[in-house]
Structure 1
Amino acid sequence: MTALAAGSVGVTAPAAAPAVSSAFGLRIITGLVGVLLAVLVSGFNENVTKVAMPDIRGAMGIGYDESTWLLAVYSATSISAMAFAPWCAATFSLRRFTLCAIGAFLLLGVLCPLAPNVSVLMLLRTLQGFAGGALPPMLMSVALRFLPPNIRLYGLGSYALTATFGPSFGTPLSAWWVEYAGWQWAFWQVIPLSLLAMACVAWGLPQDPLRLERFKQFDWRGLLLGMPGLIMLVLGLELGQRLNWFESQMIRIFIVGGLALLVLFFINEWSHPLPFFKLQLLKIRNLSHALLTLAGVLFVLLAVIKIPSSYLAQIQGYRPLETAPVMLMVAVPQLIALPLVVALCNLRWVDCRWVLATGLGLLALACVLGSEVTSVWNRENFYALQAIQIIAQPMAVIPLLMLSTGSLNPVDGPFASAWFNTVKGFSAVAAGSVLQVLTVNREHFHSMMLVDRVGNSPLVSSGVDLARRVHQQAMVLSSSDLYLCMAGVAVLLIVIIPFGPTRIYPPGTAVGAVK
């Protein structure tokens, strides 16, 4: 896998362009589009089933507890697959492994609504999580390996769609399937785009030979430690709020046991000759900074999606389809905004660190404006905030991809893909858990303060009316607090930029790192 080689300090002379397949052209572009479609469909599938879960529960007779497990096991297996998929692609070939992953994902999606009971459905969703999670690393691999240096950033920009366009578009898509199609299509919606993705990948990507000799150095100990460790930790985070966190013995086992296994996993990876994760790469300042900042950016991006959706549903009584225009206002323009930001970062005189700072600053601005939310806000009041995010989101993500891949030797590409995708998937789950905790705590705090202030106010006609008004105002104040918290996170990420990454030039121009 190719990437630019760069020093960590100082200025280096231009390096020779890395080898790129001589077959680059329409076929490679088609293959890249096919992998992109598969990755987006995988993300949509998770969002659709989350929104459609009440319908799925009613149709299949599934209890609430089982439904939370269905969502949790998909996330857990998906993230664990991201960690180990790059090794599998290097061993079985990128094209072959990608086709198998898409095919398995498609087949399992077809079978899910046909499951006779919840146990079978749980098994199918677990396996589908593995298949879906194996796809995002393949997108980054294709972009880094096959695209020429002068357009490589555009390929990475397609990967950025999974962090900006995907989550924002997934919610409206979910609402459409729930509103207009049968509950089975919450699973079957993957069929058409998955078939198209398989056709594009089969025609577009070249076939590498098998490298089964890699099994002679297979990291069995790492697999047996890392996969269950990741799965346990993600399950603990996904189920923690429902089971009251460390008050539950199961959650204590999941989180403590998962952390212990991961510590042992990383100790093993440090000295293994063919590891899944190369910890030595974290010595590269740009990669370490990009991974840390990525976690913070995903936290903010998740919040700016969840806060308006939750507010409009609980305060104004909006149905998911009525909330869709707010999400689409950010999602659809990403198809234009992302290439524009890539073109900006591709200019040699533009320092992507300051593009990153500007994007984070715009996100902070949108969150500060959102903190002015009141109980009379409706869908139209959020449009101004969403308009800022149209350009802010790609400006906060594209530079991270440039920083994380521009300081690597070519042979380290698969390890960087494993790091980047696993951190991306795990951070999204951790951010969701933290957001849940913050929301509940702030709601409880504001409810108690409001009750203490209102008491037996003569302005309240009944206890029921008082409870409703207190709950409504507590939700509004909590939304405001969350927006301010996200603004603080964005500002903190700006503050660490001067102390973290070094200058990276666009691929295909001068290579180096300048303070």
Structure 2
Amino acid sequence: MSGTASVAAPAAAPAAQGIPWLGLAGVLLGTFVSTLTGRLSSFGLADVRGALHAGFDEGAWITTSFTMAQMLVTPFAVWVGGVYGPRQILILSALVFAAASFLLPFSQNLDTFLGLQFIAGLSSGTFIPLTLSFVLRSMSPRLWAYGVAVYALNLELSLNISASLEGFYVDHLTWHWIFWQDVPLGLGMAACLQWGVKHQPPTNDIHWDPFGLIACGAGFALLYAALDQGNRLAWLNSGLISGLLLAGGIMLVAFVIHEATAPYPWLDPRIPFRWPMPLLLLLISILRLTILSTAALIPYYLGGVRGFRALEVGDTLIWIAMPQLITCLIAAWMLRRFDPRLAGGLGMCLIGVACMTVAWTLTPGWGSDQFLVSQLLQALGQSLALSGVVFTAVLNLKPQDALSFGASLQMARLFGGEVGTALITTWNRVREQRASNLIGQHVQKGALDVQRRLDAYHHVLTPRGHSAAAPAVLGDVVRVMATTQSTIDGFVLVAAVAALGLTMFVLIVPPPPQGPASPKPLLRRKNGS
């Protein structure tokens, strides 16, 4: 899995033959399902906890167990996919995932549910790492830009339509469909792969490296658990979080040392650490951070200030998802005709502008409609930015390196998203406490303005039989203002992170090397002049 940084056409025959578009649909469906499921269980967590009679602390592990399993299985998925080909492992994983999704709502207790969630995470964790390799090996290099754009579309579309789906299931069906909807998707994925991808005989080119596989998967899984539970358990004030961070760090250090010294390492260390790959993986993490941060900020505001339910929140987030069906085509067109850094840089600019637009104009009176313009702008920015960064990385790869890059991309994607969620959750909590304290300093008992406000509330509430509720109403007003201010601060933070990513991408990342997948110029000179 080593080689130069230039792009070369695959030396061997493509893995997909017969009906390659059907196989491509199958693996892209896998990326959609994997992201959709993790996001759905986040939005529907309260309903799931209630059905299982689980408390907040116990129920917090429901989503953590799913993504921990995805992190744990990623190295094994890449190794098995390299030895046996993606078809066999993806079909088996899709069937196991469908079975686990079907059984999850029948769980009688939390322990059983967590076990099935872990199995679902293990099976779905194979989807995304193997997808990019399949795209590069099954498509002509001149079509890679379109494959990457659709790949990015799948990741972000599933992320932002989940709130609408979860709200629809809870309001019109039952919470069980949060998981049952994955059954036909998993079976459909398996069918597409069965008839769309030709069987690939095993290869002995990739050596068995059990220590490297275990250390990598376990190290990232432990660190992920620490990040996911850190805000709830007060970070380093918790012995559990400190232990998870220490154990995960030790495992990853041991993994890096082992891979650098082993005669037959599982992961070629030159691929993720070969310039500019480290920077591109960092940019993927930053993009995932910005995307998940804004996806968390809007529900945080609409739920905390306006009291919106999941379905009403989904009416806003869906405006990020739906336009991407069109913007992915724009992204692919730009990738084929311009330096992909242009598409990525423009996308990061649009994300920053969208965030600052909200920060400058947000008030407690905002509802779903007021977010429309900024979310349409952000939808275009997300597609362009993610497509541009991933395609730049692809142009720095050989197709045989795609498996190693797929594993690195999965780790960067999950960690970037988790860091973003943890960062924005902690940031919002701290900034809301600060804003509440500052506002509260101006709400002093006996002050003339405060008494006038209480008298006004009392005048309105007395005819309704709630004359004693005036202080509570005033306290709620203070909370709403503090939540609004912390939301504004959150959007400013995301805009700053997007600006940092833009600076790194445009000024530091070098132009990608030329190859068969490189952008085709808009105008060609005659006679080679």
TM-score between the two structures when normalised by the length of structure 1: 0.92
Residue 58 (structure 1) shift: 2.3
Tell me by how many angstroms 1:259 deviates: 1.2
Secondary structure at 1:454's aligned position in 2? coil
Displacement of 1:253? 0.4
Among all aligned residue pairs of Structure 1 and Structure 2, give the percentage whose two residues are the same amino acid.
25
Any conservation in 1 of the 2:35–2:155 contact (CA below 8 Å)?
A: no
Paired amino acid for 1:222: G
Deviation at 1:42, TM superposition (A): 2.2
The equivalent position to 2:405 in structure 1, one of 416, 420, 430, is 416
Q: Which runs of 4+ in 1 moved over 6 A?
A: 22-26
Deviates more, 1:169-178 or 1:103-112: 169-178
Q: 5+ unaligned residues in a row in structure 2: which ranges?
A: 455-469, 521-529
Counterpart in 2 of 1:127?
A: 119
The answer to whether residue 60 in structure 2 is matched with residue 68 in structure 1 is: yes
1:212 Cα deviation from its structure 2 partner: 6.0
Counterpart amino acid of 2:362? V
Residue 365 (structure 1) aligns with: 353
C-alpha distance in 2, partners of 1:65/1:23?
Answer: 46
Shift of 1:30: 0.7
Corresponding residue for residue 49 of structure 1: 41
CA distance in 2, matches of 1:23, 1:323: 42
Q: Does the CA-based 8 Å contact 1:345-1:506 persist in structure 2?
A: no
1:339 maps to amino acid: L
Shift of 1:393: 0.9
Counterpart-to-counterpart distance in 2, 1:366 and 1:131: 36
2:192 is equivalent to residue 200 of structure 1: yes
Bigger Cα displacement from structure 2, 203-212 vs 133-142:
203-212
Structure 1 residue 59 corresponds to structure 2 residue 51:
yes
Aligned to 2:96: 104
Note if contact 1:153-1:507 (Cα within 8 Å) is conserved in structure 2.
Answer: no
User: What are structure 1's unaligned runs of at least 5 residues?
Assistant: 8-14
Letter in 2 for 1:363: I
- Pick closer, same or farther for the CA change 1:226–1:419 going to 2, 3 Å: same
In 2, Cα distance between the equivalents of 1:410 and 1:380? 44
In structure 2, distance between residues paired with 1:84 and 1:23 = 20
Partner residue of 1:235 out of 211, 225, 228: 225
CA apart distance, 1:271: 2.4
1:310 to 288, 291, 300: 300
CA distance in 2: counterparts of 1:64 and 1:81, whole angstroms: 27
Change (3 A) 1:357 1:117: same
C-alpha separation in 1, matches of 2:432 and 2:170 = 29
Name which structure has the greater RCO, CA cutoff 8 Å, separation 6+.
1
Q: Deviations over 1:292-311 (max 9, x none)?
A: 11111111111221112221
Q: Does 1:428 align with 2:421?
A: no
Matched residue type, 1:365 = V
Q: Determine the C-alpha separation between the residues in 2 that align with 1:453 and 1:276.
A: 61
- 1:168 aligns to 2:160 (yes or no): yes
Partner of 2:367: 378
Secondary structure class of the residue paired with 2:267: coil
Matched, 1:471 2:463: no
Q: CA deviation at 1:124?
A: 1.1
- Note the C-alpha offset of 1:281: 2.1
1:352-400 CA-partner distances (Å, limit 9, x unpaired): 1122111111111001111021111111110010111121111111111
Could you report, residue by residue, the CA deviation over 1:84-122 in whole angstroms, capped at 9, with x for unpaired residues?
Answer: 311111122210011011111111111112223221211
Identify which range, 380-389 or 282-291, moves more after superposition. Answer: 282-291
Q: Which amino acid aligns with 1:396?
A: A
> Judging changes above 3 Å, is the alpha-carbon distance between structure 1 residues 386 and 219 closer, same or farther for their aligned structure 2 residues?
same
| Residues in 1 aligned to 2:196 and 2:4: alpha-carbon distance in whole angstroms | 27
The verdict on how the C-alpha distance between 1:212 and 1:125 changes in structure 2, with shifts beyond 3 A counting, is: farther
1:418 shift after superposition: 1.0
**In 2 relative to 1, CA 19–67 (structure 1 residues): closer, same or farther, beyond 3 Å?**
same
Q: Which moved more, 1:36-45 or 1:372-381?
A: 36-45
Question: In the alignment, does 2:171 pair up with 1:183?
Answer: no
Q: Does 1:398 align with 2:387?
A: yes
Summarize the alignment of residues 235-274 of structure 1 with structure 2, pairs less than 5 Å apart.
Answer: 235-274=225-264
Mapped partners of 1:252, 1:22: distance in 2: 46
Greater C-alpha radius of gyration: 2
Contact 2:272 2:405 in 1 (8 A): no
Partners in 1 of 2:242 and 2:99 — Cα distance?
35
Q: Is the aligned partner of 1:387 residue 2:376?
A: yes
Give aligned pairs, total.
500
Distance 1:380 1:138, change over 3 A: same
Contact map agreement 2:169 2:177 (CA 8 A) in 1 = yes
Name the stretch that deviates more: 41-50 or 503-512.
503-512
Alignment-derived partner of residue 325 in structure 2: 335
Which residue does 2:492 correspond to in 1? 484
Distance in 1 between residues matched to 2:143 and 2:48, nearest whole Å: 43
Of 457-466 and 410-419, deviating more is: 457-466
- For 1:124-163, what per-residue CA distance to the aligned partner results, in whole angstroms no more than 9, with x for missing partners? 1111111111111121111011110111121122221233
Partner of 1:10: none
Structure 1 counterpart of 2:344, from 328, 331, 356: 356
Instruction: Give, as a single letter, the amino acid of the residue that structure 2 aligns with 1:31.
Output: G
Distance 1:233 1:22 in 2: 36
1:325 Cα deviation (Å)? 2.1
Q: In the TM superposition, what are the counterparts of 1:438-453 in structure 2 within 5 Å?
A: 438-453=427-442
Question: Pairwise mapping of residues 278-289 of structure 1 onto structure 2 (< 5 A)?
Answer: 278-289=268-279
Deviation at 1:285, TM superposition (A): 2.5
* 1:417 match: secondary structure: helix
Change (3 A) 1:510 1:360: closer
Whether the 8 Å contact between 2:78 and 2:404 is mirrored in structure 1 is yes
Deviation at 1:411, TM superposition (A): 2.9
Please tell me whether residue 454 in structure 1 is matched to residue 443 in structure 2. yes
What is the identity, as a one-letter code, of the residue corresponding to 2:416?
A: S
The 8 Å contact of residues 35 and 158 in structure 2, kept in 1 or not, is answered as: yes
Structure 1 residue 407: Cα displacement: 1.0
2:491 partner amino acid:
Y
2:70–2:122 Cα contact (<8 Å) kept: yes
Matched letter for residue 383 of structure 1 = L
Q: Counterparts of 1:511 and 1:463 in 2: how far apart (Å)?
A: 64
What's the offset of the Cα at 1:4?
11
Q: In structure 2, what residue type is equivalent to 1:473?
A: M
Counterpart-to-counterpart distance in 1, 2:213 and 2:339: 39
Partners of 2:10 and 2:137 within 8 A in 1: no
1:18 and 2:41 correspond: no
Q: Structure 1's 308 and 116: CA in aligned 2 closer, same or farther, altered over 3 A? A: closer
